[in-house]
Structure 1
């Protein structure tokens, strides 16, 4: 196949889930519903934590950051997919595709690093309770989040620049609902060996390193919990980690099922479904997982919703008096 210059490419085609027109309204309604739940659920968690001084602790600081990142993460893919379904189009511009890859990798990396930081936070809280407030001071917490942003931004920038060096042919179809990095690289006409090396190296160093950090933290946590004498103490220590473990399992299981699957089945419908799990379902479920068994979050949510509902009638009454 003769390679073309990347300037000849103006757009890609996102094939999405189904070609059948009768399924498009159902897909549109389903993903619009999930997107709205994701945005409002995570926004409520973020605002509740920010407005309640009792939740200004490292654990909830990281949780509020995770909620903000989840909103951004989902917003990189779903609005464009909904827009295409509404307009009965499959097109995404070349610049739009590169931008989507960049921000998708940025917020996916942040999700990955924040889950690792939260595991580290639980490790310090359970294994070193007497030194926890000193070790996880506000400066240290801010530094951990800043490092997560910097590392994720550098990775997404590197991957985006590596895409820009590729040449593409005309008529490019991506068998996905968004510009997924591996799928776009496979569409290139030029040699992609260097891109593949960078992708696997980044996945091994960043993804593998973060996952190893989580495993290490929880191995130490389990070791500390086993040394607790009382059953109630063990349950209380483990209950603080249960929500985080649920999110980690859901996120990493679906990600690994996509990126460790054989190349021959990488673009199959099952892998697209798995992609939906970590790009849409996991961010949507996070607010429920963290709030259902967390009395502090439920109390903060009730307080925030109650204050907001009281402010609105007062504002309308004052406006009427004017």
Structure 2
């Protein structure tokens, strides 16, 4: 039997609202099963540290298990791509550092996903200042003394980072280009081995996140040169910012955010945002903020999306001007 196009159009007009009502109803009931929170980094790092209290509080608030899945590799790309390609039903989420979201797209020739198109921002979780530290043998106690010392060196001067493509690496490149320094990047596979070589005097300086380097600052095993935040950190209030030393463009943070696959229903995103902001005000997460030197940065999905666009433009420019690569 031949069905007229007019009848098909009538079905579409009548059916669409019914489908929408059905979908909205399922969104209101979400979650109805275990939710996987992918962390594309090994256990124990800042993304993981942020994810655990958030997942715990969401489990309690929403009545279903929120389970951490540490899926490391590819500079955060492997786990992040898995979430980007997951069904947009709220059952697979992502908590990650900024690297695979705003840095890797400029560094990798073949990105397995498009962060701006394939992921839906929920909220920022942490914004951690980076610290420039030096081995005690380096004869400098502030930024101007360090710059003068580097410029006097006839042999190559180096800085270490937690790895190519990390915020630590790109902040080092921003430092290098802003101050017009001849320094070489030495990437490590994580903060721990880089810090080990710094403590051993094998590299003279490095950039690292507050949470990773603070124990060595407190013990006096490293010199603190400057902090990359826009104002002094309460954890090291006597340390000047780069801006205070005359370099206002050298502001940098390692930030960590919460995402869902693109096209996840807005009411699921809204529910996640509201419950996450509540979780961020609980004592367990407040301790994470204090330990990492982060301010409270919970925000709306829309504000977080605008922040990400700005960060993408910023780091794309740094990569282009510095010639930084992941090789």
Query: When the two structures are superposed, what TM-score results if normalisation uses the length of structure 2?
Result: 0.28
Higher helix share: 1
Query: When the two structures are superposed, what TM-score results if normalisation uses the length of structure 1?
Result: 0.29
Q: Bigger relative contact order, structure 1 or 2, given CA contacts below 8 A and separation 6+? A: 1
